[in-house]
Amino acid sequence: MSLLPLSINGAWVIEPKMHFDSRGRFHEVFKQIEIENNFGRKFEVLQVNQSVSAAGVIRGIHWADTPPGQGKYVSCSSGSIWDVVVDLRLGSATFGKWEAAVLSKENARSMFISEGLGHAFLALEDDTVVTYLCSQPYSPETERTINPLDETLAIDFSGIAPVGTQFEISDKDLGALSLKDMELSGKLPSLAGSLFSL
């Protein structure tokens, strides 16, 4: 595996070593020892989620209150996504910044997203299957959402989507607060509060 740090501290793209033969392809999706050795932390998987999305579906921006937060290890086993990580940690040098990478069946990449960072994705194909390994179970009381179309964040979904793509966003995500309003609400994570997990 190759672990490529993003410009946002606490997020990495993982590129597996793929093995091909007459039967097809094999690769390791997740390896706990790689997380420990390279990220200097444990990542205990307490819940596994899977979504199936049509082209144009945007999910997120989601995160959970820290501590404990919810770290995610995201993979795409069918179709493709544009996977987005957003730094929501007050006090971070990259607060309000985002970065993205394409995860697909073909490239077999994964993304590791530490606690305190926001996560969203755009499905680029129909029947796109995304699996999330999560460090904490889902808790509706601590899950938070920011509108993925927030003008302050200006995530360029249109720049990556195929021409003519119609976005589909849940009412919950579309009706969520902006980054600025979420900051005023006092519900954003702090860098100091999330360092325990990095």
Cα separation, 2 vs 12, whole angstroms:
10
Q: Which of 19, 27, 62, 119 is catalytic?
A: 62
Q: Which residue is catalytic, options 27, 73, 119, 132?
A: 132
Q: What angle do CA 61, 111, 117 make, to 5 degrees?
A: 40
Tell me which residue has tokens 């003008």.
Answer: 151
Residues paired with residue 85 on neighbouring β-strands, in sequence order: 99, 119
Query: 73 an active-site residue?
Result: no
Q: Quick check: is 132 catalytic?
A: yes
Q: Are 94 and 191 in contact (CB under 8 A)?
A: no
| Polymer length in residues for the chain | 198
What DSSP letter does each residue of 71-105 carry, written as one string? -EEEEEEESEEEEEEEE--BT-TTTT-EEEEEEET
Would you please indicate which residues are annotated as catalytic (active-site) residues?
A: 62, 132
